[in-house]
Amino acid sequence: MNRKRLRYLFLALVGLTVVIVDQATKYSVMQSMRLHESIPVVPNLFSITYIRNPGAAFGLLAGSSNAFRMVFFGVTSLFALGLLGTILTRLPERDWIGQLSIAGILGGAIGNLIDRLRFGEVIDFLDVYIEAYHWPAFNVADSAISVGVFCLIIHFAFERKDAPISVTETPPSSLSP
């Protein structure tokens, strides 16, 4: 098997692992908890809370009609998956940080898309808060997307670009002493 195929197989396994862990944790929460039930893990900081989010991140579009949300999220998801796949195939082979980040984002996007197709909404259960101030609940897929995007931003912000040598420049190795 050539290196390129092996690399894509590994990246597919990373994305598939995100999907499997995401779906398994959501299934576990749905089977063991009632909707809106909350189990404190770290008092006044973190709970497992079973909710369903019909909207986008942070509940955006939650009040829109079900038909609108299905079309909007379907089109948006297909566009995002196509864009991420294109970016992944265009990244240089040596750019492992970029590739792993995209694989995690793809896995997260697929995990949430599965929920939307199955239930018309996304299962969320990770609830971070301080006293009465709650961050919007999220899930493993959301975490993979957030970590992947954060890593890409940092990676591209600090990526070193080597300036190409122009035709008129003499490479440093050919200069006389």
Active-site residues, by number, are 124, 142
Among candidates 15, 173, 36, 166, which has minimal Cα distance to 103?
A: 15
Q: Which residues pair with 138 in a beta bridge?
A: 126
Q: Name, in order, each residue with C-beta under 8 angstroms of 123's C-beta and a sequence gap of 6 or more.
A: 26, 29, 30, 50, 51, 52, 53, 115, 139
At residue 14, φ and ψ (nearest 5 deg) are -65, -50
- 47, β-bridge pairs: 40, 127
